[in-house]
Amino acid sequence: MASKVLMRPNIPSMNHVAYSGSMVPRSHSSGQLCLPKKRADTTAFRSQSHVSSFITPAMSTGLAKTSSSTSSSSLAHMWREVQGCNNWEGLVEPLHPFLRQEIIRYGEFVTACYEAFDLNPKSKRYLTCKYGKKNLFREVGMGNSDYEVTKYIYATPDVNIPIQNEPSCGRWIGYVAVSSDDAVRRLGRRDIVITFRGTVTNPEWISNLMSSLTPARLDPNNPRPEVKVESGFLSLYTSNESDNKFGLGSCREQLLSEVSRLLKRYKGEELSLSLAGHSMGSSLALLLAYDIAELGLNRLDPKLDVPVTVFSFGGPRVGNSSFKERCEELGVKVLRIANVNDPITKLPGVLLNENLRVFGGTYEFPWSCSCYEHVGVEIALDFFNMQNPSCVHDLGSYISLLKCLKRDQVQKDEENLFNRARESILSRAQNINMEPLKNAASNVVNLVQSQRTEFLKDDTILGLMNSFALYILL
């Protein structure tokens, strides 16, 4: 079974209730996560460390520069671990800040797909991207991403339904982008990112419901009939506009061609292939990752494989146990970010899944080959909004929650800082044998720690605390 880590940050309740494992409310509050009260949009949560109030502006500027430089340098040195070379061992519990930062970053790349997708039937760009490749990131508020879009990707659902008068053509599904030279220095490698949006149109929803397993057969030299994937996802990945002489090639053909071109162009550099998707998009990302590795496109020479990593947000199961095992053999790394209350992550294979495939870890059932299995390591989030149940699958909710995790860490860091300050103050007081000062210092630190929320609202008291702390420590 896939590895799983449950993340339930302790965040004060704001009229929202968290649930665990089902849509039934928990009767206790330990470990519960509460979304912000206003959740109408996907604006990032903003958190500020109370400790920063003890730092002067000059000190703050210097620390910010040092922190930024250190962060970039450290990420550049450990990017392979963040991309999953060791299956994220030691990075998910607790969630490492660099990994959290990268998960959020790739999630925002996927968010750009939704924001740029034109769903206005009266628009000339209906079912395509509203912006040109050069302007995409700027138009969606990601002008400082330091990535350049190189290709738009279209998928053609091989499904015709009379529900909506939609043209039978390829729908814009995502894009391919490459990091700039500046980003290369910060990230430690040239990153090729491929992102996919989730289900939006009716034919795509129908494709999602085609939950029968079918052999992938993506490698013509070795079809591997035992490796099976969900037929609807495979159809969306491989279907083309065959009835149109000037129609688009399949999503697969577009992607493999562009990936091959970019790998050849940047051969000789440190490279990474980062695939990210939400919902149905995460399924396409995983199919592409498997396809690239199965065909060996990421093998630039006998001793060098370009890492292939999938960042899946609210993704469903894609294939059977043989598909999972083959992905692992090929070195495809998958990090699944899933809300335990998100029903999409339980599909397909609600009954026939990894939990029933093996009985007692020893005996295989006759239907084991027909069981769906998740691939990779899971970071399980836990949130639910009674007023807006659909948020359980909303990508904005996923990203906002991941950003909210920082608050938990800030509180822990803050407590550690107070503890270190207490130890330092007491140590100095003992060294100079000033018992009254020792007691006073201890009382002040205890008071600040227990009532820091109220104290931090009063700049005058903060100034006094600054002066007192500096006097003692210096």
Quickly list DSSP for 213-260.
Answer: EEE----TT---TT-EEEHHHHHHHH---TT-TT----HHHHHHHHHH
Q: Considering only CA atoms, which of 153, 150, 154, 156 is closest in space to residue 179?
A: 150
Q: Which of 146, 191, 291, 342 is catalytic?
A: 342
Segment 8-38, tens digit of pLDDT: 544 333 323 332 332 223 332 223 333 333 3
Segment 59-83, tens digit of pLDDT: 334 434 434 444 555 899 999 999 9
Return the pLDDT at 108. Answer: 98
Mean pLDDT over 428-437 rounds to: 53
What does the DSSP 8-state code read for residue 353? Answer: B
Q: Is the pLDDT of residue 210 over 90?
A: no
Q: Is the pLDDT of residue 308 over 60?
A: yes
CA–CA dist 313, 107 (Å, integer) = 8
Return the pLDDT at 192. Answer: 98
Instruction: Name the β-bridge partners of 92.
Output: 95
Return the pLDDT at 353. Answer: 80
Mean pLDDT over 429-452 rounds to: 53
Q: Give me the amino acid identity at 224.
A: R
Q: Whole-model pTM above 0.85?
A: no
Asked about 393 being catalytic, the answer comes back as: yes
How would residue 269 be classed by pLDDT, with cut points 50, 70 and 90? very high
How would residue 52 be classed by pLDDT, with cut points 50, 70 and 90? very low
Q: What is the mean pLDDT of the chain?
A: 75
- Can you spell out the DSSP letters for 366-418? TTGGG-EE--SEEEEE----TT-GGGGG-HHHHHHHHHHHHHHHHHHHHHHHH
Q: Is the pLDDT of residue 441 over 70?
A: no
Q: Is the pLDDT of residue 112 over 60?
A: yes
Segment 343-401, tens digit of pLDDT: 999 989 887 787 765 554 555 555 557 789 999 999 999 999 888 888 999 999 999 99
Return the pLDDT at 363. Answer: 54
Measured at the CA of 276, the angle between CA 147 and CA 357, to 5 degrees, comes to: 165
Q: In the chain, what percentage of residues exceed pLDDT 90? A: 53
Q: Which of 393, 394, 400, 408 is catalytic?
A: 393
Q: Which of 20, 239, 279, 400 is catalytic?
A: 279
Q: Give me the amino acid identity at 208.
A: N
